[in-house]
Amino acid sequence: MNYTESVQHASSYIQEKLKKIQAGTIAIVTGSGLGGITDAIEDKISLPYSEIPGFPVSSVQGHAGTLVCGNIHGTPVIAMNGRVHLYEGFSPQEVTFGVRALYEAGVRTIILTNAAGALNPAFEVGTPMLISDHINFMVGMNPLRGENNEEWGPRFPDMSCVYDKELRTLAMQCALQLGLRLETGAYMGVMGPTLETPAETRMYRIMGADAIGMSTVPEAIAAHHMGMRVLGFSCLTNKNLPDCIQEVTHEQVLAQAARSSDAMTSLVLEILKNIQ
Ligand code: HPA
């Protein structure tokens, strides 16, 4: 089986098990410590990634590995609770397998969330950041490398607007409605798993990024390649500033994501209430 066939095979299995993937279903990928969004899903049906043929499974603490289908405020949703990363040794194709499979199942809108370090000194820990753009700094890695499936999208996709403008406006309106502070900025995607040295942090900031993390960019590229509407949020779990850099552990990132997940969750729920 080639990659496209594997994705289609997995997608058929998902559709058979989760009969509720209706037209208009919104996908949500939950980042480190942000799986709480799935608690709000009503009439849930869950499917562990490990049961889906060919579906990659994460080994990272804080990443569950379950598809959860149902609805929130009457909007049909499917959550990818947990994701796989390049730093675990997965290929860019494997990292984007789930997004491709959901597209094949008819999903056309995706909300990507992650935990990230704040490079912009004005941003506070705990605040959600709306991703307005990204920098693919996962050096040498692109999920579109290799043979292109023209049915999914073009060989050379335009990247002038990856994160859907209307959905970004909606996100800002929802934050305002909730009285919730929402930053906006560019997300730098790096391979990891090392966190940054002070010199790297300085470089990434000079390069134009506001937040940095180890996911989301390949998924956003694959989703945009297929013409999906993409919305992305970073939960800022630590300040990553060159002149006062602090030690960061994965446990701190998870703990802060858990503390801040209420803001992110209420924002996503409000968006789902209002999304067309
Ligand atoms: N750098 C990279 N990835 C991260 C960080 C960070 O500071 N915080 C959470 N994920």
pLDDT, tens digit, for every residue of 27-78?
999 987 677 789 999 999 999 999 999 999 987 765 679 999 999 988 999 9
Q: Tell me the pTM.
A: 0.95
- Annotated active-site residue 238? The verdict is yes
| Residues β-bridged to residue 30 | 81
- Determine the average pLDDT of the residues in 257-272: 89
- Cβ–Cβ under 8 Å, residues 120 and 211: yes
Give residue 23 CA to ligand 1 midpoint distance, Å. 35
Closest residue to atom 6 of ligand 1, CA basis = 117
User: Is 76 close to ligand 1, i.e. is its CB under 6 Å away?
Assistant: no
Task: Give the CA distances from residue 179 to residues 36, 139, 232, 266, 273, in Å, rounded to whole numbers and listed in that order.
Answer: 21, 38, 19, 11, 16
**Radius of gyration of the chain measured on its C-alpha atoms:** 17
Is it the case that residue 6 has pLDDT exceeding 90? yes
Is it the case that residue 241 has pLDDT exceeding 80? yes
Is it the case that residue 177 has pLDDT exceeding 80? yes
In percent, how much of the chain has pLDDT > 70?
A: 98
Please tell me the predicted confidence (pLDDT) of residue 63.
Answer: 63
- Annotated active-site residue 214? The verdict is yes
Please tell me the predicted confidence (pLDDT) of residue 62.
Answer: 58
User: Is 116 close to ligand 1, i.e. is its CB under 6 Å away?
Assistant: yes
Where do the domains of the chain lie?
3-274
∠ CA 38-99-82, nearest 5°, is 40
CA distance 123 to 235: 11
- Determine the average pLDDT of the residues in 188-212: 96
Closest residue to atom 2 of ligand 1, CA basis = 213
Element (H, E) at 274: helix 250-274
- Annotated active-site residue 266? The verdict is no
Please tell me the predicted confidence (pLDDT) of residue 22.
Answer: 87
User: Is 212 close to ligand 1, i.e. is its CB under 6 Å away?
Assistant: yes
Picking from 125-139, 154-168, 180-194, 254-268, which range would have the lowest pLDDT averaged per residue? Answer: 254-268
Q: Which of 97, 86, 90, 112 is nearest to 152 (CA)?
A: 97
- Cβ–Cβ under 8 Å, residues 143 and 162: no
Residue-wise pLDDT for 101-112, tens only, equals 999 999 999 999
Sole residue written with tokens 């194709």: 93
The CATH number of the domain covering residues in 3-274:
3.40.50.1580
Options 114, 238, 240, 260, the catalytic residue: 238
CA distance 211 to 190: 11
Residue 194 pLDDT class (50, 70, 90 cuts): very high
Neighbouring C-beta atoms of residue 58, cutoff 10 Å = 16
Q: Could you tell me how far CA 50 lies from the centroid of its own chain? A: 20
CA distance 161 to 78: 24
Give residue 91 CA to ligand 1 midpoint distance, Å. 20
Please tell me the predicted confidence (pLDDT) of residue 57.
Answer: 92
Give residue 117 CA to ligand 1 midpoint distance, Å. 4
- Annotated active-site residue 225? The verdict is no
User: Is 201 close to ligand 1, i.e. is its CB under 6 Å away?
Assistant: no
